[in-house]
Structure 1
Amino acid sequence: MPPALRLATPADAAACAVMHAECWREAYGPYADPALLAERLADTEGWLAAWTRHLTEGPPRVLAEHDGEIVGFSVVGPGRHPGDATQELYAIYTRQAWWGTGLGQELWDAVRPDEPCSLWVLEDNERAQGFYRRNGFVADGARDFYDGLGTWEIRMVRP
């Protein structure tokens, strides 16, 4: 049975914090500075605080749940950086076991805005960039160093 999609609630904060950190470990391990990534992943209180804040103050987050376990999420909100589109894909993650299953596409479809949208993705993450290109995003030349992971990221936009 495929994962079910639903809106996150504040009661999901702890499970989402654990899932999100695991997604970072799986997705960013090959690209991030190992020490910086380990430091970020070790901050379990920070992950929980961020999820608690996002679920009470931020835009709605769509969760993917399978057999009672949160296995992915997506969220779109207003563009946050100069040059970003009207809307920004803040995050879309699935656990590695779900890569290539179509779950990422379902999560994107659940939050895809009608307005122009931008996102930031690690420059070396070709797998993620391929997904975004298949969904109409193109790199616009903007590039920034992500201090928190010690790696470069690029902006992609979808008109």
Structure 2
Amino acid sequence: MRPEIRQATAKDAEAAAWCHLLCWREAYAGLVEADVLAERTSDLERRTERWAHATAEGWIRWLAVNPDPEAAVQDRVIGFSSAGPARDDDAPTPLELFAIYARQAWWSTGLGARLLEVAVGKDPASLWVFEDNRRARTFYRRNGFVEDGVRKHDPYFGLMEIRMVRH
């Protein structure tokens, strides 16, 4: 069965928070120091509160919902994406892809492309990605994004990020 993609609601906060933390663990293993990754992905309560707050504030976040109706709460949401007005002072596009993640079991299934489509469509957009995240950079290139040469340090995970842009 194909996962449903829909907008997140307040009721989704805990399942979405699980997805967020598990996606970080899966996507950043080997990129982020193991102890830092474990610490940054350990606070389910805080991440749940952040998801609930974002939904209450009207942020649009798209969820990919596990087609298995018996899935446990930590496996109920298997991916998500969000976008909005670009936050950079020198933004190359008006739209920024803030986040797109899929659980590892769903990599290479087309789910990422579906989540990208609902978040930004074919519109010009920019995004930030960890410089050493080859898998993500390949995905973005396949979807028309190119590196624009701008870099910055991400203090949360302690890695360098690069900006990619699709005009």
Normalising by structure 2, we get a TM-score of 0.90
Tell me the residue number matched to 2:137. 129
CA distance in structure 2 between the partners assigned to 1:115 and 1:94 by the alignment: 21
In structure 1, list runs of 5 or more residues that go unmatched. none
In structure 2, list runs of 5 or more residues that go unmatched. 70-75
Once the two structures are TM-superposed, the CA of residue 29 in structure 1 deviates from its matched residue by: 1.3
CA distance in structure 2 between the partners assigned to 1:82 and 1:35 by the alignment: 33
The answer to whether the 8 Å contact 1:87/1:113 transfers is no
Once the two structures are superposed, residues 72-128 of structure 1 have per-residue CA deviations (whole angstroms, 9 ceiling, x without a partner) of: 011111111222221110111000000000000011111225542100001011111
Corresponding residue pairs, total:
159
Tell me the residue number matched to 2:154. 146
Q: Which moved more, 1:123-132 or 1:107-116?
A: 107-116
CA distance in structure 2 between the partners assigned to 1:11 and 1:147 by the alignment: 30
Asked if residue 75 in structure 1 is aligned to residue 82 in structure 2, the reply is yes
CA RMSD of aligned residues (A): 1.3
Once the two structures are superposed, residues 4-59 of structure 1 have per-residue CA deviations (whole angstroms, 9 ceiling, x without a partner) of: 11111011001100111000000011101222211111122221121111111143
Normalising by structure 1, we get a TM-score of 0.94
CA distance in structure 2 between the partners assigned to 1:122 and 1:26 by the alignment: 14
Question: Percent identity over the alignment?
Answer: 49
Q: How does 1:39-118 map to 2 (within 5 A)?
A: 39-66=39-66, 67-68=68-69, 69-84=76-91, 85-113=93-121, 115-118=123-126
Q: Which aligned segments of 4 or more residues in structure 1 are displaced greater than 3 angstroms? A: none
